[in-house]
Chain A
Amino acid sequence: MSVAISISDLVKTFGTTRALDGLELEVATGEVHGYLGPNGAGKSVTIRVLLGLLRADSGTATLLGGDPWRDAVELHRRLAYVPGDVNLWPNLTGGEIIDLLSRLRGGVDEGRRDDLIERLALDPRKKARTYSKGNRQKVALIAALASNVELMLLDEPTSGLDPLMETVFQECIIEATREGRTVLLSSHILAEVEKLCDRVTIIRRGRAVQSGTLAELRYLTRTSITVATEQPIVGLESIDGVHNVSSDDGHVRFDVDGRSLDQVVRTVSQFGVRSLVSQPPTLEELFLRHYGDELEAANGATGRDESVQGG
């Protein structure tokens, strides 16, 4: 397995804040790697180090076989980047910006550019100052997707897109991987990562807390279910893949792995379902559920994190 990105024991501090605190990350060539973490976890800092915009304090980072700080210009010929917060030149049109960025990267594939503009429904003749956040993001995405690069670094690329455009984006990423490109996709939206990614790394406070295939991180795909039934439910705990069962005032709450969902629904329906709410767990919930103890211990030890709240 050849490696596109390899980060080991990376540290980056800003004053007294340790934005990256011994980060480990490995992205194989040709995969779509999900980079998950709550806001402020250090996702963008990682990408900015990989782009040579920030210099790491210690540790090693290798990008496409080169040093992201020293070989920045050479490496950038082979990658494209979509920032999480796309800022454009207010008096240039979207079309002009797409062309500028593509030309700087080494040329425009006009057919591809026009195809993407059509699919993402962007009006390239409008001045950037009139674009919404979603449209600004489309400009950066089109410029990245239209270029012929090995690696794409995407920092929460769909945070401003509507669901329809998100689907188009996902198609584009799937096409890109078919062409053999590597994608690092940072996100805090679990569903997006689930659809696209082969492997996932979860980062929290500058550290990778878990990394693996989605199957390995099966708990990520669990569904939270709250159900009220005519008769009390029995036998739920014994089903393989059901976790965290609790009951409160006739409502039963539990999490269930995707593969066990069918069996759970069959079991529950025997007791006469009055209401059933199912939802994917939010990332924060997952963190709290799975790392809650660890975090609390960490808090006690270092007193560093103020953002974790009980719930």
Chain B
Amino acid sequence: MTALVDSARPVDVGGPDAGAASTAGTRQLLRLIARRDRFRILLWLGGIVGLVAATAASITGLYSAQADLDRYAELVRGNAALIVQSGPGYGLQDPAVPATTGAVVMNEVAIWTVVAVALMSLFMTVRHTRTEEETERAETVRALPVGRHSELTAALVATGVTNVLVTFGVVVTLLAYDLEPVGSIAFGLALIGSGAVFAAVAAVAAQVAGGSRAALGLGGVVLGASFVLRAVGDVGNGVLSWLSPIGWAQAIRAYADERWWVLLLPAAATAALLVVAFELQARRDLGAGLMPERPGPSVASPRLSSTIGLAVRLQRASVISWTVAVALFAFLYGVVADQAESILEDNPEMEDFFAQLGEGSVTDAFLATATLILALLATGFTISSVLRARAEEVGGRAESLLATPTSRERWAGGHVTVSIVGTTIMLLVAGASEGFGLALVSGDREWIPRLIGATLVMVPAMLVTGGVAMVAYGLSARLAMAAWGYYAFTLVVGMLGALLDLPQWALNLSPFEHVPAIPSEPMDWVPVIVLVALAGALFATGLTAFRRRDMS
């Protein structure tokens, strides 16, 4: 009897948090993540470090003399159009202070590096928390002697370690280009800070949302809001930038009289968000969000009678949220476009700079650039929408449909159609929104139809990238992810093309290089028609290839 009592251990039924045991097994889960993500991590690492290295190489090459750097600073100074895209340009603002290579590199690439690290952290954290929960794998893992918080902890540690790896690569790269060590380390710490904040944002989103897509969407909204807040803040009096994690990353002023205390902001925000995430997780059932699941209709609406109807239903939320995000961004560009001109009135240097971009006015040149950036961002939707078919196939949801009298072309064509129509609507709304923003400040309503035209001209180029995605997917579900590599290429060419000094044939591989830059260039129908035909041919080829292969 005594022996029995002695060996009996108190059973911890666990309150909201069952103590140290709640992170048991984290080490093993970390190993699993490392095994599953080793190539992904390498790709992110290579991509982000490559972006920084390419920029640093081109800046050190192009601006070797102090006079060149000062000329660059003069172009950037107070230029709302550039500030919206790059940030306040610390180290370039004061004509009395000579510009440094570090400050120029930061102005070119810092914000995109921060955004890339933020995206990486969002994706990685959600992938190993909420996405896992949607599969039966999470149950298998939770049934092991693994704590309730182990998966979240492992996901966060893995994301943190990846952030540190990427940062290390970036800092070493900057040092290799002979940039000041202090500034390089400051930028590195800012990267780790923003990575940590967005990993923590993702951790909270994973608890609140009802699924992984919703969690990613929520994280994306926070990232988008951070970008817009700091854009408005940087152009204005700067107050709003202090509400944005991207703003914090820039506020450290790498290479420009560093302010180290700024690092407290991401640290505090990360800590607070993590407390919330772990608290929420302790109170939540596996697989459930905070919102209770409401019963839905027991009968399908007549719209849900075809595969195209299903594709619309599956992608509806994504089309709407992308459209809203792109429209907001476009509106912002429209509002600041008017300032581009007024700032330039007493700056002949800058007028020269913009004059190279096109034949029209400075405002026109700014709008052409803004439209290109909007289109490049929205292409993310075009591709992910085509590749929704892949997600359906890999998730095992295609075979039930393909066992009905539905041809493969028809099924995949449903997602392609949503991609084409969604892209067109998105750009239409973006053009209208950009035009509306500009009309609001300039009083000239003519901008609305002009900018709708400018954005719609981008659609064929976007569809060409969608067509490339369809060809890759048509050949194999594994190869499909190469489409994101092509997308990254068009982004780099579009945003940094001139800077990177790429050969013309390489630039020509991006369809966006062939689109007339309206409104600063006149309309040219030839490339537009060629791109439409090319997109059509790519979609047709992809669908034909898809019909011939095995389904996974």
Residues of A within 8 A of B (CB): 48, 51-55, 72-74, 76-77, 79-81, 83, 85-101, 103-106, 123-127, 129-130, 140, 153
Instruction: Give Cα A51–Cα B305 distance, bound, in whole angstroms.
Output: 21
Contact A76:B405 (CB < 8 A) given known A89-B314, A91-B211: yes
Closest CB of chain A to B294's CB: distance in Å? 8
Interface size class of B (residues with CB under 8 A): 35 or more
A50's nearest neighbour on chain B, judged by CB, is B403
B95 at the interface (CB under 8 A from A): no
Instruction: Give Cα A100–Cα B302 distance, bound, in whole angstroms.
Output: 9
Closest CB of chain B to A116's CB: distance in Å? 13
Residues on B with C-beta less than 8 A from A130 are 293
B296's nearest neighbour on chain A, judged by CB, is A93
Contact A83:B404 (CB < 8 A) given known A95-B299, A96-B300, A125-B296: no
| B296 and A103 form a contact (CB under 8 A) | no
B529 at the interface (CB under 8 A from A): no
B504 at the interface (CB under 8 A from A): no
A77's nearest neighbour on chain B, judged by CB, is B405
16 contacts between A and B (CB under 8 A): A51-B402, A55-B548, A72-B407, A76-B403, A76-B405, A92-B296, A93-B297, A96-B297, A99-B304, A99-B305, A100-B305, A103-B300, A103-B306, A104-B305, A104-B406, A125-B298
Instruction: Give Cα A58–Cα B300 distance, bound, in whole angstroms.
Output: 41
| B399 and A93 form a contact (CB under 8 A) | no
Query: Which one of B306, B310, B313, B395 contacts A87 once the chains associate, using CB atoms below 8 Å?
Result: B395
| A51 and B397 form a contact (CB under 8 A) | no
Closest CB of chain A to B208's CB: distance in Å? 16
| A99 and B404 form a contact (CB under 8 A) | no
Residues on B with C-beta less than 8 A from A97 are 300
Instruction: Give Cα A94–Cα B297 distance, bound, in whole angstroms.
Output: 9
A83's nearest neighbour on chain B, judged by CB, is B399
Contact A90:B211 (CB < 8 A) given known A73-B407, A104-B306, A127-B293: yes
Closest CB of chain B to A114's CB: distance in Å? 9
Query: Which one of B299, B395, B400 contacts A101 once the chains associate, using CB atoms below 8 Å?
Result: B400
| A83 and B396 form a contact (CB under 8 A) | yes
Instruction: Give Cα A93–Cα B301 distance, bound, in whole angstroms.
Output: 11
Instruction: Give Cα A94–Cα B318 distance, bound, in whole angstroms.
Output: 22
Contact A129:B287 (CB < 8 A) given known A79-B403, A104-B307: yes
Residues on B with C-beta less than 8 A from A104 are 305-307, 401, 404-406
B134 at the interface (CB under 8 A from A): yes
In the complex, besides A95-B300, A100-B304, 7 extra interface pairs with C-beta distance below 8 angstroms are A73-B405, A86-B400, A92-B296, A92-B313, A96-B304, A104-B406, A124-B298
Contact A106:B402 (CB < 8 A) given known A55-B550, A93-B298, A95-B299: no
In the complex, which of the residues B287, B298, B301 has the most CB atoms of chain A within 10 Å of its own CB atom? B298
A85's nearest neighbour on chain B, judged by CB, is B396
Residues on B with C-beta less than 8 A from A86 are 400
Q: Which of B276-298 contact A (CB under 8 A)?
A: 287, 293, 295-298
| B300 and A54 form a contact (CB under 8 A) | no
| A100 and B310 form a contact (CB under 8 A) | yes
Instruction: Give Cα A72–Cα B210 distance, bound, in whole angstroms.
Output: 37
B309's nearest neighbour on chain A, judged by CB, is A100
The 9 closest A-B pairs by CB, nearest first: A99-B300, A87-B396, A81-B403, A95-B298, A125-B295, A104-B404, A93-B296, A96-B300, A124-B298
Closest CB of chain A to B489's CB: distance in Å? 31
Residues on B with C-beta less than 8 A from A106 are 405
B551 at the interface (CB under 8 A from A): yes
| A48 and B399 form a contact (CB under 8 A) | yes
Closest CB of chain A to B123's CB: distance in Å? 19
| B401 and A127 form a contact (CB under 8 A) | no
Instruction: Give Cα A86–Cα B211 distance, bound, in whole angstroms.
Output: 19
| B300 and A100 form a contact (CB under 8 A) | yes
Residues on A with C-beta less than 8 A from B405 are 73-74, 76-77, 104-106
A117's nearest neighbour on chain B, judged by CB, is B298
Q: Which of B241-287 contact A (CB under 8 A)?
A: 287
Instruction: Give Cα A50–Cα B211 distance, bound, in whole angstroms.
Output: 34
Contact A103:B406 (CB < 8 A) given known A55-B550, A90-B134, A124-B298: no
| A76 and B406 form a contact (CB under 8 A) | yes
Instruction: Give Cα A136–Cα B403 distance, bound, in whole angstroms.
Output: 17
Residues on A with C-beta less than 8 A from B295 are 93, 123, 125-126
In the complex, which of the residues B299, B395, B403 has the most CB atoms of chain A within 10 Å of its own CB atom? B403
Instruction: Give Cα A99–Cα B403 distance, bound, in whole angstroms.
Output: 15
Closest CB of chain A to B334's CB: distance in Å? 35
Residues on B with C-beta less than 8 A from A73 are 405-407
Query: Which one of A76, A85, A96, A124 contacts B404 once the chains associate, using CB atoms below 8 Å?
Result: A76
Closest CB of chain B to A137's CB: distance in Å? 12
| A53 and B402 form a contact (CB under 8 A) | yes
Instruction: Give Cα A89–Cα B396 distance, bound, in whole angstroms.
Output: 10
Residues on B with C-beta less than 8 A from A76 are 402-406
Residues on A with C-beta less than 8 A from B309 are 100
| A81 and B293 form a contact (CB under 8 A) | no
Query: Which one of A87, A98, A123, A126 contacts B397 once the chains associate, using CB atoms below 8 Å?
Result: A87
Q: Which of B383-438 contact A (CB under 8 A)?
A: 395-397, 399-407
Residues on A with C-beta less than 8 A from B548 are 55
Residues on A with C-beta less than 8 A from B287 are 129
Closest CB of chain A to B413's CB: distance in Å? 13
Query: Which one of A53, A87, A105, A126 contacts B296 once the chains associate, using CB atoms below 8 Å?
Result: A126
